[in-house]
Structure 1
Amino acid sequence: MIKKRLTILIICLISFLGFAQKNEDKKKLTQELSENACKCVDSIEIFNRNKSDVIKDIHGCIDKYTGALQLGSLLSTVDELSKTAPEVNGKKQVNLNFNTDKDSKQYTESYNEMERYMMKNCPSLKKAVNVAESKIEKVTKNEEALDFYHKAIEASKKEDWIEAIKNYEKAVKKDPSYTYAWDNLGICYRRVGEFDKAIDAYKKSLKIDPKGKMPLQNIPIAYIYKKGNVVKNSW
């Protein structure tokens, strides 16, 4: 990847150097840009969306204003750089390299600076991050796992629980983090009286998503069925 580099050549009179941005100016700039980025984050729809999409939008809001902060940070160094800058025709010549590559140290430092400020001062960012981090991907991006899942669904509609179990087991083998498959596998095991296996499937789902409603609701039911089955078989 060819890194884009924009070189800004600033030729300024010595008498104008006193107007270069100082630390206080940079802090003010960071605050103003971060507040704008915060408004952007506040407009993000954070519910009923994938975690990755929310995070992408958050990064987009911060990225939108990072370049301005990056440039402001560069300008704040003009005063110091001018001390050793060459003089051409009685004027100081200061070269500032503005790196537009997002992998560059220059860009990363400005991005991180704004992100740190926002994490302390932007409630919208904190809320968006917390919601995004609490999201568990219950579905799968594994096409094979998804195919087995749909086959299991079709088998369940026909009440062919054994066939459904086979396909759900294949689905979680392809993607062990597929919570929906674990949940439904537990239901199918319960249907055929395999209560211990049902409970185990629900527990595996809970390891992935500790707040999963289906396993939390079904584990007690499975234990009740198991207890009733033990009593029945003891007669």
Structure 2
Amino acid sequence: MKNNQIFFILFISLGMISYAQETEEEVDPAIEVIAADACECLVDIKLDAAKKKRYNSINDCIETASNTFQMTEGIKNTLGIGKDSTITNDIIIDRDKYKREVQSALLERCPKMKLLMSSDEVESEVSISEKKKAVEFYEQGMDFYVKEDYKNAIKSYKKAVRKDKNFAFAWDNLGLSYRKDGQFKKAVEAYDKSIELDPTGAVPLMNKPIAFLMDGKLQEAILAYQDYIRVFPNDAEGYYGISRVYIETKEFEKALDNILNAFVKYNEVNSPYARDAEHVIQVVYNNLKENDMLSIWDQYLKKYEVTVGE
């Protein structure tokens, strides 16, 4: 980001994450209306679309929903409807503010949004099996997984990889199912099998450090995130994930460096996950402040050309 700076609001007066977090009573009704409308729009976005295209389509839906809301409220006021509303005939929507808050609402409450943001499976030569029975067991596993029946999902995926030991997607989903079932060591073993088949597989490389983290193995998680970053140096996910581990290990300078890198990269591709990065930046700031380390704050903001408003 060399030509323009990225801006976000930092609530430095609070000792916790406060950005874009409100109780149900405090949620702006306009955000709920726009988010509900945008969520319906997301249905038409294909899961297998390229990541950047998905992000752009998501934000197009938010923009359309915001425009529709603004137009509808303007008509209501012109007709004298809803006079108790705080919206006037001169409706002005702070688009950046609304966009951030609608993105957060969608990430929390829109099922299709969650699917779109988690669909990163990229097919390779070993991803899909040509063996009919392996595919049948794989599909059974997917059905169990969707129903959150992880034990039966594990049984089905194990049958799939017995039929075809080179079925990478089955190893991936076996790892995900083990992780959901709390069997973190076995999850890592399954991810490693998939990585052996395809060293550039995004799903096992990203989920392996998560399994280590959930198992309390922080140093192993850091090394696994570093592996992901080596393969995908331009993807924000690795930097975001490792920054959270560095918070746990109290390596706050490394956490700051990586989360700002993630924040910039998310914004470069118009990713809604920039909202999550803002939350983590807040946490890092609070830790720097508590540990008398704020002297490095401006240095890293300058490095990544990020502007903070108080």
Provide the TM-score with structure 2 as the length reference: 0.32
More strand by share: 1
Provide the TM-score with structure 1 as the length reference: 0.41
